[in-house]
């Protein structure tokens, strides 16, 4: 797919429902005591896999039209292995969800998932009493066999800040004896604890930690899912880079640990405004300058690093992203993929330890970028192509379907570009 350059990003856009919230909404509804309706569920493949997973486990999900899905809970065990495709969030959260149920669940995924580290959930779930057997020589890779066992609440400190691991432990805590506490080295997205609290679960949040107590889950009758900030970031960064742009993304989730990319763009001089009441974010053409993204703030914008790296390439000066090691174990080795993309754009980049530096060139170059099957790399390359003066051929553009099946349609909507 080739994206022609010199486009303007204009008008108004509503991005898909937040992917992280969608996963959790389905899982919490699947163990709920009463039916609920989810409105605005993400239509990406990742979330579709999670829906299929909870249905395989015994929950019922029914499309009601207009983007609504009715879910009736009740887990009884799946008749065979469950494939989560490319979804790291899906496989890790589900491992925690089923760990306390009296059946064995096999969780698997695609080739990318089978390379991603699962020891980070195996360790705490095992400490709670669950039996989680991984594959590979290390026994820590997917597929995972999760044998449900009586669980004991624990106090666990995350070695690496991870909303997925935190969520897996908290979901397991729903069926444990006694409270379960997770301590975080840095703040991560709070969707699991937020949604559990709205579902009647006793949750206590303090600086750097969250505790849940076991109990019945009673989800609200209606769960509304706002727009995904990680998807919004691509369009807003594009509007900042492309001359003549003025774009508003509507109804974006503005909760904890998800707006880091806004702070980064603002420090770079972006003309960006946020309406905290509506969730609307407006961005206009800006003169971008370099900044430093610290390791402490990276968890709040980790999924946005590919597009922020593109913005850094279009900026003046050298931008530094610290603590980027976690990006090596995403859907692709994103550090390597970003460096490869930046070279096509004409920007020089350098790795020193856990830091990535990007020397901005202002005017983005063109060429061919391989997404390596990573949806965020595909979208970042496409936005770079539209915002720059040339064009970019994106190999593996179809990976956008993982989280954003309508990405090409929306690119046409805001720029007029046609595939």
C-alpha 16/C-alpha 40 separation (Å) is 7
Whether residues 237 and 148 fall in one domain = no
Q: Which of 137, 170, 205 is the last residue of a domain?
A: 205
Flag whether pLDDT at 249 surpasses 70: yes
Q: Is residue 215 part of a domain?
A: no
- From CA 49, how far away is CA 82, in angstroms rounded? 9
- 200 and 297 in a single domain? The answer is no
User: pLDDT for 145-161, tens place per residue?
Assistant: 999 999 999 999 999 99
Mean pLDDT of 154-179: 97
Distance (Å, whole) CA 245 – CA 9:
5
Whether 212 is in a domain gets the answer no
Identify the residue whose tokens are 């609200």: 220
Residue 73 shares a structural domain with residue 185: yes
Q: What is the CA radius of gyration of the chain?
A: 21
Q: At 229, is the pLDDT very low, low, confident or very high (cuts 50, 70, 90)?
A: very high
- Model confidence at 102, pLDDT cuts 50, 70, 90, reads very high
Distance of CA 266 to the CA centre of its chain: 21
Grade residue 418 by pLDDT with cuts at 50, 70 and 90.
confident
Same domain, 8 and 60: no
Selection from 203, 283, 200 nearest residue 32 by Cα: 200
Per the structure, the count of domains in the chain is 2
The answer on 123 and 84 residing in a single domain is yes
For residues 33 and 182, state if they share a domain. Answer: yes
Under 8 Å between Cβ of 389 and 6: yes
* Distance from C-alpha of 313 to C-alpha of 344, rounded to nearest angstrom: 11
C-alpha span between 229 and 338 (Å, rounded): 20
Considering the domain boundaries, does residue 220 fall inside one?
no
Determine how many CB atoms are found less than 10 A away from the CB of residue 104. Answer: 14
pLDDT(329) > 70 = no
Q: Which two tokens stand for residue 387?
A: 């915002």
Which residues lie below 8 Å from residue 277, measured CB to CB, with a gap of 6+? none
Domain shared by 11 and 57, yes or no: no
Residue 347 maps to a domain: yes
Per-residue pLDDT at 14: 96
**5/22 Cα distance (integer angstroms):** 33
Sign of torsion over alpha carbons 40, 87, 126, 101: positive
What pLDDT is stored for residue 122 in this prediction? 97
Of 101-110, 241-250, 298-307, the poorest mean pLDDT is in: 298-307
- Whether residue 332 is predicted with pLDDT greater than 80 in this model: the reply is no
Q: Are residues 197 and 251 in the same domain?
A: no
- Please tell me whether residues 189 and 313 are part of one structural domain: no
Q: The CATH number of the domain where 177 resides is what?
A: 3.65.10.10
Q: How far apart are CA 415 and CA 256, in angstroms?
A: 31
- Dihedral (CA of 96, 100, 101, 106) sign: positive
Q: Is residue 11 part of a domain?
A: yes
- Structural domain ending residue among the three candidates 205, 239, 271: 205
Q: Residues 311-337: what's their mean pLDDT? A: 90
Are 319 and 338 contained in the same domain? yes
Residue 385 within a domain: yes
Of 96-100, 104-108, 388-392, give the lowest mean pLDDT range.
Answer: 388-392
CA atoms within 13 A on the CB side of 181: 9
> What mean pLDDT is predicted for residues 105-109?
98
Helices (H), 37-87: 45-56
Catalytic residue set:
303
Task: Calculate mean pLDDT across residues 105-121.
Answer: 94
Q: How far apart are CA 229 and CA 251, in angstroms?
A: 9
Element (H, E) at 304: none
Residue 331 has pLDDT above 90, yes or no: no
210 belongs to a structural domain: no
- Is 234 inside a domain boundary? yes
Distance CA 230, CA 217 (A): 28
* Residue 224 · residue 194 · CB < 8 Å: no
Residues 31 and 168 in one domain: yes
Say yes or no to pLDDT of 269 above 90: yes
Higher pLDDT, 147 or 326: 147
Please answer whether residues 195 and 21 qualify as being in contact, where contact means their C-beta atoms are separated by less than 8 angstroms. yes
Percent of the chain having pLDDT more than 70?
99
- 326 falls in which pLDDT band (50, 70, 90)? confident
With beta carbons less than 8 A apart as the criterion, state whether 47 and 82 touch. no
* 300 and 286 belong to one structural domain: yes
pLDDT band at 257 (very low <50, low <70, confident <90, very high): confident
> Does residue 339 sit in helix, strand or coil?
helix
Expressed as residue numbers, the domain containing 111 is: 19-205
272 or 300, higher pLDDT: 272
């Amino acid at each position: 797919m080739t994206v022609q350059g010199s486009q303007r990003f204009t008008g108004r856009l509503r991005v898909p429902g937040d992917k992280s919230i969608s996963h959790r909404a389905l899982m919490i509804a699947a163990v709920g005591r009463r039916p609920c309706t989810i409105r605005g569920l993400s239509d990406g493949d990742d979330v579709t896999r999670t829906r299929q997973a909870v249905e395989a486990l015994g929950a019922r999900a029914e499309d009601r039209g207009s983007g609504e899905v009715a879910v009736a809970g009740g887990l009884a065990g799946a008749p065979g292995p469950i494939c989560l495709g490319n979804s790291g969030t899906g496989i890790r959260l589900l491992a925690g969800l089923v760990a306390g149920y009296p059946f064995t669940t096999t969780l698997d995924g695609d080739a990318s998932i089978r390379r991603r580290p699962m020891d980070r959930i195996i360790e705490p779930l095992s400490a709670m009493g669950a039996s989680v057997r991984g594959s590979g020589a290390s026994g820590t890779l997917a597929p995972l066999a999760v044998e449900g066992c009586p669980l004991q609440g624990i106090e666990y400190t995350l070695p690496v800040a991870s909303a997925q691991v935190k969520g897996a432990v908290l979901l397991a805590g729903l069926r444990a004896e006694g409270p379960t506490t997770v301590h975080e080295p840095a703040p991560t997205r709070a969707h699991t604890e937020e949604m559990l609290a709205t579902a009647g679960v006793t949750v206590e949040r303090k600086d750097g930690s969250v505790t849940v107590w076991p109990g019945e889950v009673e989800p609200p009758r209606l769960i509304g899912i706002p727009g995904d900030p990680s998807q919004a970031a691509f369009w807003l960064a594009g509007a900042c880079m492309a001359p003549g742009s003025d774009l508003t993304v509507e109804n974006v989730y503005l909760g904890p640990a998800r707006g880091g990319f806004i702070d980064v763009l603002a420090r770079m001089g972006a003309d960006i405004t946020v309406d905290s009441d509506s969730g609307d974010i407006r961005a206009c053409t800006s003169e971008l300058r370099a900044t430093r993204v610290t390791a402490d703030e990276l968890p709040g914008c980790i999924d946005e690093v590919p597009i922020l790296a593109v913005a850094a390439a279009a900026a003046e000066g050298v931008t530094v992203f610290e603590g980027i090691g976690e990006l090596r174990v995403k859907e692709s080795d994103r550090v390597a993929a970003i460096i490869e993309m930046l070279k096509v754009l004409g920007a020089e980049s350098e790795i020193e330890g856990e830091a990535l530096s990007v020397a901005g060139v202002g005017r983005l170059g063109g060429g061919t970028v391989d997404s390596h099957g990573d949806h965020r790399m595909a979208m970042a390359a496409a936005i770079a192509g539209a915002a720059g003066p040339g064009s970019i051929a994106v190999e593996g553009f179809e990976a956008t379907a993982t989280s954003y099946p309508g990405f090409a349609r929306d690119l046409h909507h805001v720029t007029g570009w046609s595939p």
